[in-house]
Amino acid sequence: MSEFNLLIDGKMVPGDQTMAVLNPATEEIVAQCPRASKNQLDTAVAAAKAAFPAWAATPIEERRRLVGKMADVIEANTNELARLLTSEQGKPLADATGEVMGMAAFFRYLSSLDLPMKVIEDSGDRRVEAHRRPLGVIGAIIPWNYPLLILSFKLPSALLAGNTLVVKPAPTTPLATLKFAELVKDVLPKGVLNVITDANDLGDFMTKHPDIRKISFTGSTATGQKVMASAAATLKRITLELGGNDASIVLDDVDPKKVAPGIFEGAFQNSGQVCLAIKRLYVHESVYDEICNELVAIAKNTVVDDGSKQGTKLGPLQNKMQYEKVKGFLEDARKNGNIIAGGSAMDRPGYFIEPTLVRDIKEGSKLVDEEQFGPVLPIIKFSDNDDVIRRANATNYGLGASVWSSDVARAHKVASQIEAGTVWINKHLDMAPHIPFGGAKQSGIGTEFAEEGLAEFTQLQIINEART
Ligand code: NAD
């Protein structure tokens, strides 16, 4: 048996095929990984379906205990999971460690939640109760930017609610997920959790599958549209967390030195490969030059290197396709703006791109209008608050946004007019398991995290009893 295996029906099994997983910092093979066949997907779904009745009937206290136990297992194996994550995803080891700890925190928090029955009416006429029932088999589809953290947005909620699961990580980042599956396999009854992998060829079968009741999907808007279309045939429940083109608006009253580090972090964390990263920075003309200069100073001091080396702040792009895509954005930046930091792919093995800042650029350029999902930030000048709100909203996306100001009341007024699921004030990228998260417009459907996210893994059932 190889080092990595699929988890199907409580057993670690080889894939019917294999595929190589590369380290994006070196382009060398990290490991040969199992690749599931359509047959193995069907076996995993059948195992999850068979495990469902007993798991759904397990008291929620016990399900909570097991979700908590999974948090213990994650914590006890933080270093191994983090090292694996860095080797396949590319992010610095400190960030990978933070991701694993964040994953454990999500499991821990979910293990404290409940799904109590609510009495809607208890009168002489009737007693009406609202129950939250599990849905059945859930299909969880995960992207490559935060393989473990995004798994933790779905898995503990789905299990706590009494569902069983088939998880599919992205083809370029399956290893940490398979290791996690191996570590927790004995915590759960067989078949409750199944993890398969693919080469971008099984997602569609999952969304069409007659025995999967819900798809919880995180990925691009283009794939999300396919998921929605394909799920229509079986009227599956769907939660879609999709792409974004987050605007960050810097008002005229900020202290540039104070806000620049938070803006830089919000744009460049994980080398810009964050659904909620700042992707368009709008700066008032009165502070435009100063903000640009502060950001340039930070960019020049940012160490870009192999994530396994100590001191690395930004790693490579995760895969070749994304690397080529971001190089296209650099070309656009050269044509339509002035590059004031970075601007090139690095001349070394791996998918490295310098953190790039582009000023004097406007809407109508690809870098402003599309989601770059990489370390290239357009900085756009504005002079009027109403005008910048209109420009920030002139997109089909609506995931996140931020407003920076020394006057919080002014910032709130702007924030309330932005069409986005989350708007931060004087920060960007602050998330926690008890704060609901979801996208507006084409950035998604539904909510994850917190009690609202948990409820999306259930069917509301009303029991209405006659009293006369
Ligand atoms: P992607 O859409 O290409 O892939 C995501 C997942 O979908 C992968 O597991 C992939 O194998 C699978 N998939 C591919 N084709 C499918 C199909 N036809 N049906 C079902 N599944 C299919 O996205 P990506 O390139 O891996 O991730 C980057 C994108 O994800 C960005 O647009 C980013 O903004 C978005 N994202 C969103 C969030 C969020 O929470 N909103 C979080 C992270 C990433």
- What is the rounded average pLDDT for all residues in the chain? 98
Q: What is the mean pLDDT of residues 104-115?
A: 97
What pLDDT does 1 receive?
43
Which sign does the torsion angle of CA 7, 10, 11, 13 carry? negative
Ligand 1 neighbour 275 (Cβ under 6 A)? yes
pTM score of the predicted model: 0.97
Residue 60 has pLDDT above 80, yes or no: yes
Give 280's pLDDT tier (boundaries 50, 70, 90): very high
pLDDT tens digits, 40-58: 999 999 999 999 999 999 9
Ligand 1 neighbour 143 (Cβ under 6 A)? yes
Check if CATH label 2.60.200.20 holds for domain 247-425: no
Q: What are phi and psi of 205, to 5 degrees?
A: -65, -35
Ligand 1 neighbour 429 (Cβ under 6 A)? no
Check if CATH label 3.10.20.600 holds for domain 6-242+441-466: no
Interstrand relation of 118-122 and 444-445 (parallel, antiparallel or unpaired)? unpaired
Burial class (CB in 10 A: 0-12, 13-18, 19+), 34: buried
Ligand 1 neighbour 350 (Cβ under 6 A)? no
Give domain limits for the chain.
6-242+441-466, 247-425
Q: What is the mean pLDDT of residues 237-261?
A: 98
> Ligand 1 centroid vs 170 CA: distance in angstroms?
8
> Ligand 1 centroid vs 223 CA: distance in angstroms?
6
What pLDDT does 107 receive?
98
Whole-angstrom distance, CA of residue 195 vs CA of residue 202: 12
Q: Using the 8-state DSSP alphabet, how is residue 185 labeled? A: T
Q: Are 267 and 341 in contact (CB under 8 A)?
A: no
pLDDT tens digits, 346-355: 999 999 999 9
Q: What are phi and psi of 100, to 5 degrees?
A: -65, -40
Ligand 1 neighbour 171 (Cβ under 6 A)? yes
> Ligand 1 centroid vs 143 CA: distance in angstroms?
5
Residue 224 has pLDDT above 50, yes or no: yes
Ligand 1 atom 14: the closest Cα is on which residue? 200
Atom of ligand 1 nearest to the CA of 219: 30
Residue 416 has pLDDT above 80, yes or no: yes
Q: 3-class SS at 387? A: helix
Whole-angstrom distance, CA of residue 460 vs CA of residue 134: 9
Atom of ligand 1 nearest to the CA of 224: 2
> Ligand 1 centroid vs 219 CA: distance in angstroms?
2
Give 2's pLDDT tier (boundaries 50, 70, 90): low
pLDDT tens digits, 7-27: 999 999 999 999 999 999 999
Atom of ligand 1 nearest to the CA of 321: 25
Instruction: Assess whether the region 6-242+441-466 and the region 247-425 belong to the same CATH fold.
Output: no
Q: 3-class SS at 280? A: strand
Atom of ligand 1 nearest to the CA of 399: 41
Neighbours of 1 (CB within 10 A): 8
Position of tokens 């070749």? 320
> Ligand 1 centroid vs 398 CA: distance in angstroms?
17
Q: Which of 303, 254, 315, 319 is nearest to 281 (CA)?
A: 254
Atom of ligand 1 nearest to the CA of 443: 41
Whole-angstrom distance, CA of residue 289 vs CA of residue 293: 6
Give 468's pLDDT tier (boundaries 50, 70, 90): confident
Q: What are phi and psi of 109, to 5 degrees?
A: -65, -45
Amino acid at 128: V
pLDDT tens digits, 438-450: 999 999 999 999 9
Whole-angstrom distance, CA of residue 185 vs CA of residue 92: 28
Ligand 1 neighbour 273 (Cβ under 6 A)? no
Give 291's pLDDT tier (boundaries 50, 70, 90): very high
* Catalytic entry in 275, 294, 371, 448: 275
Residue 98 has pLDDT above 60, yes or no: yes
Is residue 292 part of the annotated active site? The answer reads: no
* Catalytic entry in 33, 88, 99, 241: 241
Q: 3-class SS at 341? A: strand
Say how far residue 138 (Cα) sits from the centre of its chain.
Answer: 17
Q: What percent of the chain has pLDDT over 70?
A: 100
Whole-angstrom distance, CA of residue 311 vs CA of residue 92: 8
